[in-house]
């Protein structure tokens, strides 16, 4: 477990006093398994649990109230453990408020727990406590995910390799929108990493159902890779015998890259709105309208610039094979055809 001492509990609940922590540990452990372990993944959780045991053995407790800990002592490991402690404790309190206010024993059955020297909280205060505890649990979840994300983006990350196995890993492969920061550019998710992870199944479904079916799998996969691999973008190939300077070649390749980036942005906009449509029932009508408009704009753009997406677009339902140029007729032939057409008109039409 990542929370075992009274000091750690009281650091998160400054108005609460406990004789011992045993009465809460079972509930806290349950929420640790339900919320903290999935976020960290088993490898990172086991590593942090070992480090927690070593740190508490050395320091007694690692709570913010431990005066022996200096600012230099508070490492990313300690920050991570503290965030985990808050999540599991606040979740335990919010999800078990009823059990904490009612006791059960063999002699008296169900009993309301006595408040002792305190006034008992009324229903409204209990409801507010539960709401505040849930809010703090979710805020600390986002703080934990942000800490892990920033670590993963460093040159020498501390937790990334262990965290990568978790479904909460910040970078979601195979999608047009891979991170919470990128999603925030298209729809307002309040910069919530937790909310973005919750939307990933809908993102995958919407990309498959609304984007890939329209533009083709090969082109969709190319756009997915384009976000991290510029080599996917085709380069301009001069026609046989075409004379082109290096500056002109660079300019045309720049135009192609710009076309890909613009198309990717439009597809991401459509995907984000379709995902909101699937994810938020109360906003479905507006989100569906925005999504369909965004997809139509993206498809129109790709069709207008289809030459920039060869060879990936060749298997796409959007691809239109260029028509073969029609040989130009000679002038005498064209004039002769028109004269002949005039002589074939019925006589009655001339009289009219």
Least confident among 29-33, 69-73, 199-203, 212-216:
69-73
Instruction: Report the distance separating Cα 124 and Cα 128, nearest Å.
Output: 6
- Taking only the tens place, the pLDDT of each residue in 298-319 is 999 999 999 999 999 999 999 9
| 3-state SS, residue 51 | helix
Delimit the domains of the chain by residue range.
Answer: 6-163, 180-315
Instruction: Report the distance separating Cα 7 and Cα 9, nearest Å.
Output: 5
Instruction: Report the distance separating Cα 10 and Cα 176, nearest Å.
Output: 44
| 3-state SS, residue 110 | strand
- The pLDDT of residue 110: 58
Element (H, E) at 225: helix 217-226
- The pLDDT of residue 296: 92
Q: Which pTM does this prediction carry? A: 0.79
Look at residues 157, 153, 155 and name the one whose alpha carbon lies nearest to residue 171. 153
């Amino acid at each position: 477990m990542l929370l075992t001492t009274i000091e750690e509990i009281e650091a998160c609940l400054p108005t609460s006093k406990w004789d011992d922590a045993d009465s809460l540990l079972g509930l806290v452990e349950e929420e640790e398994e339900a919320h903290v372990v999935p976020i960290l993944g088993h490898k990172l959780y086991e590593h942090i649990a070992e480090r927690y045991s070593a740190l508490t053995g050395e320091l007694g407790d690692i709570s913010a109230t431990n005066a022996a800990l200096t600012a230099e002592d508070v490492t990313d490991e300690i920050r991570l453990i503290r965030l985990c402690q808050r999540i599991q404790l606040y979740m335990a309190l919010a999800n078990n408020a009823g059990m904490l206010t009612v006791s059960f024993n063999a002699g008296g059955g169900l009993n309301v727990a006595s408040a002792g020297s305190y006034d008992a909280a009324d229903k409204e205060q209990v409801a507010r406590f539960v709401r505040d505890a849930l809010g703090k649990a979710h805020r600390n979840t986002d703080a934990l995910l942000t800490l892990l994300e920033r670590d993963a983006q460093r040159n020498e990350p501390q937790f990334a390799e262990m965290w990568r196995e978790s479904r909460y890993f910040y970078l979601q492969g195979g999608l047009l929108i891979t991170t919470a920061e990128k999603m925030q550019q298209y729809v307002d998710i309040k910069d919530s990493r937790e909310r973005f992870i919750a939307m990933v199944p809908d993102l995958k479904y919407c990309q498959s159902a609304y984007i890939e079916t329209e533009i083709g799998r090969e082109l969709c996969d190319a756009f997915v890779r384009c976000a991290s691999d510029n080599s996917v973008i085709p380069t301009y190939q001069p026609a046989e015998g075409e004379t082109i300077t290096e500056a002109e070649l660079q300019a045309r390749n720049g135009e192609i890259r710009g076309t890909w980036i613009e198309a990717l942005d439009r597809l991401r906009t459509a995907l984000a709105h379709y995902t909101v449509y699937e994810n938020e029932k109360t906003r479905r009508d507006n989100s569906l309208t925005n999504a369909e408009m965004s997809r139509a704009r993206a498809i129109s753009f790709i069709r207008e610039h289809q030459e920039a997406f060869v060879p990936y677009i060749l298997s796409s339902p959007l691809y239109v094979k260029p028509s073969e140029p029609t040989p130009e007729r000679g002038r005498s032939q064209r004039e002769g055809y028109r004269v002949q057409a005039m002589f074939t008109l019925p006589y009655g039409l001339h009289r009219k």
